[in-house]
Amino acid sequence: MLTNTGWLLGDKILRMGVGLLVGVWVARYLGPEQFGAMNYAMAIVALFGALAGLGLNGIVVRDLVRKPEGTSLTLGTAFVLQLIGGFLAFVLAVAAISIMRPADDLARTMVAILGFALVFKSAEVVKYWFESQVKSKYTVWAEHCVFLALAAVRVVLILNQAPLLAFVWAALAETVLAGVFLLLIYSRKAGALSRWSANLSRAKGLLMESWPLILGSMASMINMRMDQVMLGSMVNNTVVGNYSAAVRLAEVWLIVPGIIGSSIYPAIIAAKEKSEELYRRRILQTTKLMAAGVLPVAVIISLLSNHIVHLVYGQQFASAGNYLAIYIWTGVPYLVFFVLNQMFYIEGLLKVGFLVSVFAVSSNLLLNFMLIPMFGGMGAAFATLATAVGATLLSLFILNLKTGIFLKRK
């Protein structure tokens, strides 16, 4: 687990460093309005991106750990399902932007380009297998090479004063190349893709389990991106640009605890199989680890938010500092909820997890409708934070009620 986490952390640290550097350079080059327009299109695509994954990640990893003899059938079926889901998500994203901004040709073009990348997300089933084997270094190699290459491409685009659409095409190229590399590495390390198989029975089995997760994942993505969509629809692209800049800074450091949790997930599943006490101990340890990792960073970034934004983005993104001071606190409940969500998988409480997601979406939409007209980006940040806290507390209450995992047993 430590080796696997080390590879993932090394990759993410490099991504955070290079990605933040190049991303900030792109934001400075485009300016708040164009940067906001691109992030608005990305948010539209992200709303439907969860449909491309079909909520299969946790289920497939679990089944690969528990039933390794069915690996070829599980991976093949998951690949076909996610390929279909990607096409459907692409169509829905294009339809949505056509309805929301019928006269905005640029927005429709960006959504069409970015949305087509969802089709290639099906290659990520390869990552599920490497995750189940705790051998993520191979997927790190593939994605690392593509990431660095496309980071260099973005730098070249900036130096040559490329138009906005060039950066959108670069985002599509990164997803396509990453998918191709993942499939090639799996073929080299695990066996030919021709061994994969798919059948209707296995597909029905996966979808019967995953349908609450499909809706739950969509709900989660709505919570993460609906604020940017609503700001773009109710305010303007410049506010979206400032808000998106704050979100990028807030989310970049959350990758690290999330990666640790992903590496621990197979061990938590195995602990459940061995004994309830070991399972309970690992859940509690992971929860404490998440909380201990996020609190100090949230305090520091919140206090220094304006200075950080000015240093990183410059004066043209000055409003982002106020948004960052609030938004950074969403990481605390988010990472605790990350652990609780894994428990929904393991305990077979997927429908309950879906109900929590429904609550979160309803809360987020309602609060955004109320607060954005009055407070703009600050209202969106408060709405996101309040929703994250509410969803985490509700999940904790339900899991204690169902399992008593966080209570001392007499």
- pLDDT at 397 > cutoff 90: no
Is the Cβ–Cβ distance between 295 and 332 less than 8 Å?
yes
Both tokens of 187, joined, read 């073929």
73 in a domain, yes or no? Answer: yes
Confidence band, pLDDT 50/70/90 cuts, at residue 382: very high
pLDDT in tens, 207-234: 887 776 677 677 777 777 888 889 988 8
pLDDT in tens, 334-361: 877 777 777 777 777 767 777 887 888 8
Write the single-letter amino acid at 366: L
Q: What is the pTM of this model?
A: 0.76
Residue 380 pLDDT: 92
- pLDDT at 410 > cutoff 50: no
For residues 292-302, average pLDDT: 85
335 in a domain, yes or no? Answer: yes
SS3 readout for 120-141? HHHHHHHHHHHHHCCCCHHHHH
- In angstroms, what CA-CA distances link 257 with 5, 190, 283, 361? 10, 28, 14, 24
Number of domains in the chain: 1
Is the Cβ–Cβ distance between 75 and 128 less than 8 Å?
yes
408 in a domain, yes or no? Answer: no
410 in a domain, yes or no? Answer: no
409 in a domain, yes or no? Answer: no
380 in a domain, yes or no? Answer: yes
Residue 1 pLDDT: 56
272 in a domain, yes or no? Answer: yes
**Which residue segment(s) compose the domain that 192 sits in?**
2-401
Both tokens of 5, joined, read 């986490």
Is the Cβ–Cβ distance between 142 and 181 less than 8 Å?
yes
Of 48-62, 65-79, 181-195, 395-409, the poorest mean pLDDT is in 395-409
pLDDT in tens, 25-82: 999 999 999 999 999 999 999 888 878 877 777 777 777 777 777 778 878 888 888 8
306 in a domain, yes or no? Answer: yes
